[in-house]
Amino acid sequence: MNNSGSVLNGINTTRVLGNIDGSKNSPTVVIFAGIHGNEIAGVKASKIVLHKIKENNISFKGNLFVLLGNIKALKNNIRFEDVDLNRIWNKENITANFNIDRVNFSELSEQKEIYAKIKSIMQNNNGPFYFIDLHTTSAHSVPFITISDSLNNRRFSRKFPLPVVLGIEEYLDGPLLTFINEFGHIALGFEGGQHHDEGSIANCEAFIWKALVHSKCVSKKNIPDYKKYKNHLANLCCKYDFFEIIYRYALEDGEDFIMNPGFKNFEHVKKHQLLAKNGGLPIIANKDSRIFMPLYQEQGEDGYFLLSKISKFWLNSSIVVRRLKINHFLRLIPGVNKDPDNNYTLIVDPKIAKYMAKEIFHLFGYRKQIFKDDKYHFIKRDRNKTEMI
């Protein structure tokens, strides 16, 4: 395959960019790079890490797989061809995709291959499994982590000196990591900085080394310059705070959306502050908050998000209530029932939902909220490990 002249610059474009075989009875780290085809930093950083492991003959206890994401879009240096590859991971789509021989969307055949690879990795290795999805953003940003709010994800993300954003799955349909989380595995998204910033490659590289150490794939003493990577991440950001998404500005089809220039991720915004324009009309912030993922590229369905900081008290309280498993008490409330088909879902009467703050469900670990058959469905993020469908 000839990639000369492309941003891939000679990087081969097979699905498995590389892998390191350790013992089968050990942790397995699976890295996704380039799920969005215009986000090349994660691909380059993964290639550097694979090369250094081999070149320095680094003793490796676990297994590492680096999977390329949207290969066709990577070759064309665009976010996606037909649909966003990070918005199609749900059980219905996967079942449908696997029942169709020829798929029409470019991304569906990418999904089919990635899914088959994940399944085969999980069948042939024992785990524990750690999934890492590397991204970059169109806006300038300090690097940060996104996770579904399960306690195992929180514990792992605390190992990194970076801001952590919870709850993105309530606003997005079908991110890859939310799908993986449903089977009880640790899954962290890492946003390494701006797409074209050379520093984003170094950020992704440092993140991968730390992920390999904290998953116990590699001992830090075996990594030359480990201290350098550790300090690199620590110096990027001054805060380890947890944030949650409180608002998403979703773009309508064909909307003439223009973000006001110059916003940085996590920047404070004031209520009524002008954030963007739709067809020349102002879009203002609906409360004092922080701006997150403002859209500064053509492709994308999210104009911006707003964040609020999560208090330590809330974080600790939610750990206690989830460990004690007192979420069962929620089911004693009239109008709140367990889904007979799914242990992790509560079905809530809208009249009751009106009086029970969403935050209560969040506290108990129920995040995703769907309105179906005239009822709210709240879905729990903490899971026991189960076999992937």
Interacting residue ranges for Zn ion, rule: CB under 5 A: 36, 39, 135
Looking at beta carbons only, is 168 or 353 nearer to Zn ion? Answer: 168
Residue 135 or residue 380: which is nearer to Zn ion going by CB? Answer: 135
User: What φ, ψ does residue 124 adopt, rounded to 5°?
Assistant: -100, 0
Provide, rounded to whole angstroms, the least separation between the CB of residue 117 and Zn ion: 19
Nearest approach, Cβ of residue 243 and Zn ion (Å): 18
Which CB sits closer to Zn ion, 122 or 307?
307
CA distance linking residue 60 with residue 63, whole number of Å: 8
Give the integer Cα–Cα distance in Å for 287 and 323. Answer: 33
Provide the β-strand partners of residue 244: 166, 308
Q: Per the structure block, which two tokens stand in for 55?
A: 């070149």
Q: Which residue number, 135 or 368, has a Cβ lying nearer to Zn ion?
A: 135
DSSP notation for 32-83: EE-SSTT--HHHHHHHHHHHHHHHTT----SEEEEEE--HHHHHHTSS-SSS
Q: Which is nearer to Zn ion, 114 or 346 (CB)?
A: 114
Shortest separation between residue 195's beta carbon and Zn ion, angstroms:
9
CA distance 108 to 103: 6
Specify the residue, 300 or 335, whose C-beta has the smaller distance to Zn ion. 300
- Closest distance of CB 327 from Zn ion, Å: 32
Shortest Cβ 175–Zn ion spacing (Å): 10
Which residue minimizes CB distance to Zn ion? 135
- CB-nearer residue toward Zn ion: 134 or 307: 134
Distance CA 135, CA 279 (A): 29
> 3-class SS at 39?
coil
Please report how close the Cβ of residue 89 comes to Zn ion at its closest, in angstroms: 14
Residues 263, 140: Cα–Cα separation, whole Å: 8
The sheet carrying 186-194 orders its strands as 16-20, 63-68, 28-33, 129-137, 186-194, 144-147, 164-166, 242-250, 302-309, 289-292, 268-269
